[in-house]
Amino acid sequence: MGTFSRQEFFQELAHGCLLPTAQQGLEQVWQLLVICLLCRLLWMLGLPSSVKHVCTVAGGFYTLYLFFELHMIWVVLLSLLCYLILFLCRHSSIRGTFLSITVLIYLLLGELHMMDTTTWHKMRGSQMVVAMKAISLAFDLDRGVVTSVPSPIEFMGYIYFVGTVIFGPWISFSSYKEALEGRKLSFSWFLKVSVSWVKSQICLVISNCVAPYLFPYFIPVYGEKLLRSKKRRKIRGSVARWLLAYENAVSFHFSNYFVGYLSETTTTLAGAGFTEEKENLKWDMTVTKPLNVEFPRSMVEVVTSWNLPMSRFLHTYVFKSALKFGTFSAILVTYTASALLHGLSFHLGAVLLSLGFITYIEHVLRKRLASMFNACILSKKCQPNCTHQNKKALWVYMINVAFSSLAVLHLTYLGSVFNSSVDYMDEDEDDVTHHTIQKWSELSWTSHWVTFGCWVLYRLILK
């Protein structure tokens, strides 16, 4: 938006950023929303289940074409490969592991050899959703949660469920089948859709129009003189570098919340995302919890609140499967799997693997401190009936606040590598690598050094 004084900035903000951002957001997804609603109405007609499966496949295909055009064939090929593996291994007891390896090989080959990296990355979200659905189904078949391999049309209906095929989130096979039963329209359903949509648009506006200008305009830390300087982003001061890193991190966070709330909207609009207790139906799908990320108790809370469905997927089908190798090994396998699902991007891989070490060391350190001081200072908030003697003492609050502040530092540091310029570096991975190393070097590798210090402290106090 150029270089303005604060008064000029706020005068330009509405018609220069807020309205165009909201308008573009609606233009990009309105057809998806209409298709989701049509499918929702279709489920209520009492049609045979096979017809419903065919309709959701048709809706999913059309939606994929709207967003990716003919490149959607790579998503289709992945789904066909997954069903072929499930069918050929229908008598095996290790379908989940075998399919997981096959999917990862396909994704890696696709990114490296099948097409250009930029186009492949545009489809990364849909590829991830297809992969997670197929892998979870394979593990559920191994564990007996799903009794038999679904028919081809039933499988494709699940994979291409229009409410999740573009923005996610991952849903289980049983959730898909429940959605097709066609629950009645209700005010609570309409309210959930409306609230999630409004939240998604607010997050989009904050990501594009607020976060990038947070400190020069909304919180003018350096005053009017710096605002008028065209060399603002060349400031070398340590505090300024951290403030710029925080702006990048917050902008990235809210772009994730936008996708999360938008996926809530599409999934609920299409008829999924509810829980049922007796005759009480609750439209309560939650994809992300922004407050738990922006004001975290711990990094453990951050990684679970960032994307709840994906966190459940990784915990259920990756972490539990790898737990036999030990907790630390299971954590590394989980974050490695997450990195591979996200694609061969150095900055994503570096961030996710760093998160693995950070969350593990924080967890074991706080667990040891909680045992030493008999206090509620674990990574996750204690239950009201926990056995710790020290629960509400001032020093307990101070320790928890200190770890919360440390989590904000980690988030700022890790999020500093995400900004709009990285999106245009996908063709050249060397540029992304250099960008990541440069950003962390500017921040003196603080988060990694702090994590190493926490590990040393843990080893010193370990019995």
- Say if strands 275-277 and 280-282 run parallel, antiparallel, or are unpaired: antiparallel
Q: In angstroms, rounded to a whole number, what is the distance separating the alpha carbons of residues 160 and 143?
A: 24
Cβ neighbours of residue 418 closer than 8 Å, sequence gap 6 or more: 248, 249, 251, 252, 347
| DSSP conformational letter for 435 | H
What is the dihedral sign for C-alpha 120, 441, 257, 420? Answer: negative
User: Distance of CA 83 to CAs 139, 159, 285, 313, Å?
Assistant: 13, 10, 28, 19
Is-catalytic flag, 342? yes
Backbone torsions φ then ψ of 169, nearest 5 degrees = -85, 180
Task: Indicate which residue of 53, 342, 347, 363 is catalytic.
Answer: 342
Q: 99: which residues sit within 8 A by CB, 6+ positions away?
A: 82, 85, 86, 89, 134, 135, 138
Both tokens assigned to 152: 């081809």
Number of neighbours of residue 131 by Cβ within 10 angstroms? 24
Residue 157's nearest CA partner among 142, 173, 170, 168 is 173
Query: Which of 19, 18, 348 has the alpha carbon at shortest distance from 207?
Result: 18
Active site residues: 342
